[in-house]
Amino acid sequence: MAEAYQMCIQCVMDTSDPHIIFDENGVCNHCHEFEEITSKRWFPNEVGQKLLESIIEQIKKDGQGKEYDCIIGLSGGVDSSYLALKIKDYGLRPLVIHVDAGWNSELAVWNIEQIVKYCGYELHTRVIDWQEIKDLQVAYLKSGVANQDVVQDHAFFASLYHYTTKNKIKYVISGGNIATESVFPESWHHSAMDAINLRAIHKKFGQCKLKDYETISFFQYYFYYPFVKKMKTIRPLNYMNYDKVHALQELKAVVGYKEYGRKHGESRFTKFFQNHYLPTKFNIDKRRAHLSSEILSGLITRDQALIELEKPLYDAIELKEDFAYIAKKLGISIENLMEVTQSTGHSYQEYKNWDHLQKLAKHIQRVVEKITNKNVKIYS
Ligand SMILES: [Zn+2]
């Protein structure tokens, strides 16, 4: 299996992304996209500070007389935790929610509690029925698709958006950021927002009915939320010089935040999925995308990234423990879990999905733009 991989000379993305394109100098499309598109939405400077100040003012203004002026979902990770602290500094009044889809480590919950206590927020926790999550997760494993985190991610966004509309909130504050997430090969991951795909996979491989597990439809995601409810996602970390290392230091100093280390992470399933399932089944090492993002935003050098990539993805003993833990929790045998991890992967396109609707939406968008002579933003 000694296949020759070509790696970008500027970042660390390589041909494990089947859609990667190199220019004549060996620089990849992700690097070009960062220069041409992504960096135009990233302001790690005084300009960003000014822009952010005016956005905050608008949020406060629109929220006058309401119980909350924005919403934030806390996972316990560094990005959203740091953002929760910043929001307090800005004087915003967020509805803070946490979605428990069964895999959160105790430490993540502990960290969330510290932040909420320090900021004086009231935490709303949405616990999703574990039997349904379990059934859906096993269905996803049987389907063999790449993105096994859809089950947790879709649950998170569905809960977040439903809370948002229920409480008549306009602004969703997101920890998403260009500094650490700009490189994201589409071929590695199908969107977690595709509920048609989720339902098709569950229909084929699931056992129970999904009653408690909420989904977001294509119509809600692309039309109802952005145009009817006028919901807006704000990513404040793109308007500051966001550096995860410093953010972590601040969190530790201010609220006593505890680092996850590599043992369990925030979610033990996500760790298993990223560090074992994806590399074994699809030859995807997600660290490449994260590290490439950090190189492009100037947080690390390419040499530092290469050293990081040399480190093993899993400790052998930890992997054995995690196999046992996950299999037991999902009610399947270890052999079964090994089988679904090692067998040939499947594309999400083998199951019904939203691709045709997306094509149609893009077509309508172009027509509307032509008629009105205005740019119509597609929600993302
Ligand atoms: Zn590159």
Separation of CA 135 and ligand 1 centre (Å): 39
- How many CB atoms within 10 Å of residue 335? 9
Round to whole Å and give the CA distance between 114 and 98. 13
Query: Residue 39's pLDDT band (boundaries 50, 70, 90)?
Result: confident
pLDDT value at position 368?
A: 86
**Euclidean distance between CA atoms 24 and 20, whole angstroms:** 13
The per-residue pLDDT for 165 is 94
- Measuring CA to CA, how many Å separate 247 from each of 70, 101, 240, 263, 264? 22, 26, 12, 21, 20
Give the pLDDT confidence of 247-257 residue by residue, as tens digits: 999 999 999 99
| Residue 34 alpha carbon to ligand 1 centre in Å | 9
Please state the rounded mean pLDDT for residues 107-128: 95
Instruction: Return the pLDDT at 377.
Output: 65
pLDDT, one tens digit per residue, over 189-226 is 899 999 999 999 999 999 999 999 999 999 999 989 99
Q: How far is CA 264 from CA 103, 236, 252, 268, in A?
A: 10, 28, 18, 5
pLDDT of residue 2: 45
Which tens digit of pLDDT belongs to each residue from 335-358?
A: 999 999 999 999 999 999 999 999
pLDDT tens for each residue of 280-323: 999 999 999 999 999 999 999 999 999 999 999 999 999 999 99
- Per-residue pLDDT at 378: 59
Q: In this structure, is residue 188 part of a structural domain?
A: yes
Whether 298 maps to a domain, the answer reads no
pLDDT for 375: 75
Other CB atoms within a 10 A radius of the CB of residue 28 amount to 26
Question: And the tokens for 371?
Answer: 């008629």
Q: Would 74 be classed as within a structural domain?
A: yes
Torsion of Cα atoms, 62 then 66 then 70 then 74, to 10° = 180
Residue 265 binned pLDDT confidence (cut-offs 50, 70, 90): confident
Distance in Å, CA 13 to ligand 1 centroid: 6
pTM: 0.93
Q: Please tell me the distance from the alpha carbon of residue 20 to that of residue 26, in angstroms, as a whole number.
A: 11
Determine the Cα–Cα distance for residues 98 and 149; give it in Å rounded to an integer.
17
Reduce the DSSP state of residue 369 to 3 states and report it.
helix
Q: What is the mean pLDDT of residues 320-334?
A: 97
- Residue 95: pLDDT above 60? yes
Ligand 1 mean position, distance from CA 364 (Å): 33
Residue 380's pLDDT is what? 43
**The pLDDT value given to residue 356:** 95
Answer whether residue 3 is part of any domain. Answer: no
Any domain includes 337: yes
**CATH number of the domain that 269 lies in?**
3.40.50.620
Domain count, the chain: 1
> Which tokens sit at 254?
């201010």
> Torsion over CA of 334, 339, 342 and 346, rounded to 10 degrees?
-130
**Given this model, what pLDDT does residue 164 score?**
95
Asked if residue 44 has pLDDT above 80, the reply is: yes
Band of pLDDT at residue 150, cut at 50, 70 and 90: very high
Residue 273 counted as domain residue: yes
Compute, in angstroms, the gap from residue 29 CA to the centroid of ligand 1: 6
User: Which domain, by its residues, includes 99?
Assistant: 44-283+315-349
Three-state secondary-structure class, residue 118? helix
* Span from the CA of 21 to the centroid of ligand 1 (angstroms): 9
DSSP 12: S
Ligand 1 center–CA 4 separation, angstroms = 17
